[in-house]
């Protein structure tokens, strides 16, 4: 299985010609080459993680594509056939096995309502928690998508999260709000955190790929 990091929070996984997209939002270059997509996972309803335009492009190229998200996504994206999933659910679609964790978005500010958010574990290999620090209890995470910068986090929290999960490998996600200097600082801190558990940190840029 091959993972390609896209801009911001978006990822695409490929296995035997099938593709799984995760969180194709407004900070991600329009996805125009999605042939082979069997599924899309949307962790929560914020538009930096999905847009109608991105979903329409994928669905137009793949009419049978399945789309998964928590109840908040199903309500926000009601024009699309979102299959509602909850923490503890498991789904198999094409060659991909999906397991869902968590349930709530991290707090941005006490004045802002907390919305649904699910982390997803793909093939017991890649874990991405969306906009949360939900830990997949009992899972030996091979690759972690670690948040690099967001209104809902401090870098110290992301470092603690990486150390708690202790993945074998980690790479940055949710980084489009950071300057070049900010990305370098975040990479240094998250890299240190990954090393504390014996893991390796990969400072992936959009378009970079790794094999899982």
Residue 98: the pLDDT is 98
Asked if residue 171 and residue 126 are part of one domain, the reply reads no
Distance in angstroms (rounded) separating the CA atoms of residues 199 and 182:
22
- Distance of alpha carbon 13 from alpha carbon 208, whole angstroms: 12
Which helix or strand (DSSP H or E) is residue 11 part of?
A: strand 11-15
In this predicted model, what pLDDT tens digit does every residue of 140-158 receive, in sequence order? 999 999 999 999 999 999 9
Here the CATH number for the domain that contains residue 119 is 3.60.15.10
Mean pLDDT of 64-85: 98
Are 77 and 36 found together in one domain? yes
Other residues' Cβ atoms within 10 Å of the Cβ of residue 185: 15
Helix, strand or coil for residue 24? coil
Same-domain pairing of 96 and 196:
no
Q: DSSP for 148-205, please give it.
A: ---TT--HHHHHHHHHHH--SEEEEES-TTS-HHHHHHHHHHHHHHHHHTT-EE----
Do 92 and 19 have their domain in common? yes
In the block, residue with structure tokens 């397991």: 99
The tally of domains found in the chain comes to 2
Full residue range of the structural domain in which residue 8 is found: 1-136
With respect to residue 211, please indicate whether it lies within any of the assigned structural domains: no
pLDDT for the residue 168? 98
Q: How confident is the model at residue 83 (pLDDT cuts 50, 70, 90)?
A: very high
Give the C-alpha separation, 81 to 54, whole Å. Answer: 14
Q: 162: pLDDT confidence band, cut at 50, 70 and 90?
A: very high
| Same domain flag for 155 and 99 | no
Can you give the pLDDT at residue 138? 93
Same domain, residue pair 30 and 130: yes
pTM score, two decimals? 0.97
Predicted confidence at residue 40, as pLDDT, reads 98
pLDDT one-digit tens code per residue, 13-57: 999 999 999 999 999 999 999 999 999 999 999 999 999 999 999
Final residue before a domain boundary, out of 79, 106, 136: 136
């Amino acid at each position: 299985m091959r993972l390609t990091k896209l801009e911001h929070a978006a990822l695409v996984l490929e296995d035997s010609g099938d593709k799984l997209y995760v969180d194709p939002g407004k900070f991600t270059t329009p996805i125009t080459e999605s042939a082979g997509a069997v599924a899309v996972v949307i962790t929560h309803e914020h538009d930096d993680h999905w847009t109608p335009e991105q979903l329409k492009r994928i669905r137009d190229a793949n009419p049978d594509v399945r789309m998964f998200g928590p109840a908040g996504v199903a309500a926000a994206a009601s024009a699309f056939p979102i299959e509602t999933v909850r923490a503890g659910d498991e789904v198999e679609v094409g060659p991909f096995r999906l397991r869902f964790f968590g349930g709530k978005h991290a707090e941005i500010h006490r004045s802002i309502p907390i919305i649904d958010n699910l982390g997803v574990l793909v093939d017991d290999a890649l874990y991405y928690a969306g906009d949360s620090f939900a830990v997949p209890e009992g899972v030996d995470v091979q690759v972690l998508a670690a948040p690099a910068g967001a209104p809902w986090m401090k870098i110290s929290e992301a470092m603690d999260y990486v150390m708690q999960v202790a993945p074998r490998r980690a790479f940055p996600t949710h980084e489009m709000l950071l300057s070049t200097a900010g990305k370098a600082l975040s990479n240094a801190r998250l890299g240190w955190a990954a090393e504390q558990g014996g893991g390796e940190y990969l400072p992936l840029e959009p378009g970079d790929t790794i094999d899982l």
